A and B are shown apart, each in its own frame.
Chain A
Amino acid sequence: MRHGAGQQLRFNLTVLAVVSVAYLVLASFVANSYYQLILTLVPVWALFGVSWNILSGYGGQLSFGHASFFGIGAYTVTLAVVYWSLSPWIGIPLGMILGGLAAVLIGLPTFRLRGHYFALSMLAYPLAILYVLQYLGFQEVSMPMHRDHPAAFMEFAEPRVYTLIAVLLLVAGVVVSLLIENSRFGLALLAIRQNELAAEAAGINARLWKMRALVVSGMMAAVAGGFYARILLVVTPDSVFGMLVSAQAVVVTLFGGVASVWGPVIGAAILVPLAETLQAELGTYLPGIQGVVYGVAIIGVMLLSPDGLFWTIRDRWFGQKAPEPIPDSTASAVPVRPASAHSGAPLLKVESLSRAFGGLKAVSEVSFSIGEGEILGIIGPNGAGKTTLFNVLNGVLSADEGSARLDGVEMLGKKTFAVCRMGVGRTFQVVRSFPRLPLLDNVMVGAYGAGLSDRDAIASAARALIQVGLQHQSGVVAAQLTNKQLRLMELARALAGHPRLLLLDEALAGLGREECDDVLHVLAQLRQQGMTICIIEHTMHAMMRLADRFVVLDHGRVLATGLPRAVVEDHAVIEAYLGKKWLARQDA
């Protein structure tokens, strides 16, 4: 569980219990069958919204085709009853399994896409299924009634039983969603949404988490669809696979509050009765009024309260909750890694690494090595290929040739998160944070990425924060941190993953002299603790003090390597990078 999850869960579960009971009590007083139907539909659409929220709200992968899963659930239940006389009590779980399978089949190819492409592709699936079903002749399938064993086939004379079942299904869905939200699953998804590359570099296997989210989401949507078919009794391709169905999940969640489990519930509770009532009252004079109302609702929400009602209400009336501080005792629980004796063999050995873009050789046959506990500075003119080198080592880019071995194990060819798990931490030239998450969570992502258990993760994150000196800002949202704090945050995030090697890309960029000294102090301490660091920097006075050796890159090639003093007096280096005046200034 995430830090502070226990309290969150207790609170939310209590609210859930209270709201469900209140709702059921309300439902018991309603006699009109039309309103009873509405009361049953609200939790169904809410559940659908909750399922969508897991993938698209937490994970940020906007899907416009969740009707695929909804429809699969609906048709499974219906066809099971019609062709195999299987009760919906079995049909719904069966639909759930099929929904999960469909999620895997859909996710495998489609997760190679991002953003717009992903959303549009997801749109295509339910529509394709819709056309195929129409072709196959399943225009309209109605569920037969079973006079002898109604209850066994989920047929009840009392409509309020359906409401009860719907609410129970919704409660199950909300509980699942809450568990996800408060676990590393949820944090991984939020991180992926806010900065996928940073999450990967911190060790999070984005593809795997997205797939998990889609499977859970698909299963939940299928359950909603299966039950929906049961209430509707007649299933047509358009009513469960159509655009409006996919839109329903999106509208309800966005209106109510995206990335929060309560959002879809609130959205469904408001929009479904509104639309249905309008349709009933005005449907004859104004056909399509429902669609217009939905359209206006979501445009209004997007303009006035872009994250949805829930967040606006929470922020305005309840304010930001102060986060639970991390107890200091947790940090000491993790043993400090002893500085290992130098075995003689280098920790990182890079040989003939090359990478070109089109005709441009960004990195050309670069070779160097770093010993354990050493600090290597990589310097060179702009465009020399330094960041590209890191990107290749890190797995962000592939290498054309060459090898890079960490303690004898090949790093190249692995995905970014896998390289991180080998023990390589990375910071970026332009800081990549998770802007809406508090500092502690930003660092926790690194701990989770390393695969630590919940308890070890919190301890590791706490220790990392103390190492960089940010333990008192753990609750500050990353968007509000200063530049120096952000740089230290990235360092802490990398440290939380217990790296053996740190790749720092311009960790001092944009810092004033004093701030620079602060960060250098942290780096020097890390060196004392035995950390191996490879750092790209232009701030020469800092590098002279920090680095044990330099590697100079120019036009993608290694120009010089050696001790700092020797390198800066090298003519070739002066010519290409430093300029004569710089050296003169140093000696002055």
Chain B
Amino acid sequence: MDLEILIENVLNAVTAGITIGCIYGLMCIGLGLIFGVMRIVNFAQGELLMLGMFASYYLVTGGRVLSFLGPYWGPFIGAICAAPIVFAGGAILHRFLISRVSGLRTAGSLDEGHFGQLIVTLGISLILQNGGQIVFGSTPVAVRTPLSAEAFLIGPIYRGATVFLNKAKLIAFFVAILVAIVLYLTLEYTRLGKALRAAADNPTAATYMGIDVDRAYRIAFGLGSAITAVAGGLMATYISFGPFVGFDYVIIMYSGVVLGGMGSILGAFWGGLTVGFVQQFSALILPPQLQNATIFVVFLMIVLLRPQGLFGRSAERA
């Protein structure tokens, strides 16, 4: 292949990998938070992503709530505004469903409640997907912004090779980083963060110390849902989606979280970033259907070769 085209493709794949990777990273943080604090494998995380997309969509276009912000700011603010909506939804899901099959109620029981969690979240996933089909219809929609068609041009770098930085993705990238940093600071330095870490490590001991573990879990679940929803809202600016979109991203999320080490939120971000990279690079050589298969292969390899991921820890005694 012509060297100039090769360089251009590679550089574009790198920039796409970074920008999309960081958005994936944000998406994975949401799942990582839920798994890290509550040790729940949330099957419905893809649907929370989907809800974020639709929330943003209706805020910006359907309900015209944010239309005053115009098509340049609207979609991104919409993505952020999706957060409180999905936070509330997640908290409600937790209060009435998830809390019954997790936390102190099931700690110490057979399977530690794994069965129950996987099943209840699978049920939620089915309801949200199919219910979404009923409510939203199956025609794909997108949150239009003219920015998704514009790009910054860097170069020419080597002869004619130019790097295209899609504007919509770039802004989404910055928003994602911002949200991630805010979350990190919250968890590290506030009392809420400490309560979450204690509840994550040993809910019984946390209770003895005066922490309302149920409330901590609810917040963690709501927060995890909201973060993934924001990522969804950001993605909505450059892809079109329908009620079953979550499904495509579930395995990406899990690959990212497992790669980063389940239990580590920072790890989840890096995991998502890495998976994004792999996906964009595989687009250089592989046709679309096999790209997703590549993610699976990556997932399986991580899980088999280094299950604790990059940042995970394991401390246990027989």
Q: Which residues of A contact B (CB under 8 A)?
A: 60, 62, 64, 109-110, 112-113, 115-117, 119-121, 123-125, 127-128, 131-132, 134-135, 193-194, 197, 243, 247, 250-251, 254, 258, 286-292, 294-299, 301-303, 306, 387, 391, 396-397, 428, 435-436
Contacts and interface: CB of A to CB of B under 8 A. Distances in A.
A132 B254 CA distance: 20
Interface stretch (B53-61, B116-124, B169-177, B189-197): B116-124
A124 B296 contact: yes
A138 to B, nearest CB: 11
Contact of B296 (A117, A128, A296, A391): A128
A121 B300 contact: yes
The interface centre, meaning the residue of A120, A131, A135 with most chain B CB atoms within 10 A of its CB, is A120
Contact of B119 (A123, A250, A288, A291): A250
A127 B296 contact: yes
21 contacts: A117-B307, A120-B258, A120-B299, A123-B251, A125-B296, A243-B247, A287-B130, A287-B133, A288-B243, A291-B133, A292-B127, A292-B130, A292-B134, A295-B123, A296-B127, A298-B123, A299-B124, A302-B123, A306-B115, A306-B116, A396-B318
Given A295-B124, A295-B127, A132 B118 contact: no
Contacts of A125: 296
B292 to A, nearest CB: 5
A258 B258 contact: no
A116 B258 CA distance: 10
Q: Which of B101, B138, B293 has the most CB of A within 10 A?
A: B293
A288 B130 contact: yes
B110 interface: yes
A121 B303 contact: yes
Given A302-B101, A302-B123, 17 more contacts: A64-B118, A112-B304, A117-B307, A119-B118, A120-B41, A120-B254, A120-B258, A131-B289, A131-B293, A135-B289, A287-B133, A288-B129, A288-B131, A289-B130, A292-B134, A299-B120, A428-B318
Contact of A117 (B125, B251, B303): B303
Nearest to B304: A109
A62 B114 contact: yes
B119 A254 contact: yes
Nearest to B257: A120
A148 to B, nearest CB: 38
A290 B303 contact: no
A219 B317 CA distance: 37
Given A292-B126, A292-B127, A387 B307 contact: no
A247 B126 contact: yes
A435 B110 contact: yes
Contacts of A286: 134
A109 B127 contact: no
B110 A119 contact: no
Interface residues of B, number: 45
B134 A197 contact: no
A435 B111 CA distance: 12
Nearest to A128: B296
A195 to B, nearest CB: 9
A116 B35 CA distance: 11
Given A117-B258, A286-B134, A134 B289 contact: yes
Given A132-B290, A197-B318, A250-B122, A291 B300 contact: no
B297 interface: yes
Contact of A291 (B111, B127, B304): B127
Contacts of B215: none
B223 to A, nearest CB: 20
Contacts of A62: 114-115, 118
A302 B119 contact: yes
Given A113-B307, A117-B307, A295-B125, A302 B116 contact: yes
B123 A128 contact: no
B156 interface: no
B287 interface: yes
A53 to B, nearest CB: 13
Contacts of A303: 97, 100-101, 120
Nearest to A135: B289
Interface in B105-157: 110-111, 114-116, 118-120, 122-127, 129-134, 138
A128 to B, nearest CB: 4
A378 B317 CA distance: 19
Contacts of A113: 303-304, 307
B126 A302 contact: no
Contacts of A292: 126-127, 130-131, 134
Contacts of B138: 287
Nearest to A435: B110
A458 B94 CA distance: 47
Nearest to A124: B296
Contacts of B317: 387
Contacts of A132: 289-290, 293
Given A258-B115, A292-B134, A299-B124, A116 B304 contact: no
Given A291-B130, A391-B318, A121 B114 contact: no
B39 to A, nearest CB: 8
Contacts of A128: 293, 296-297
A366 B114 CA distance: 40
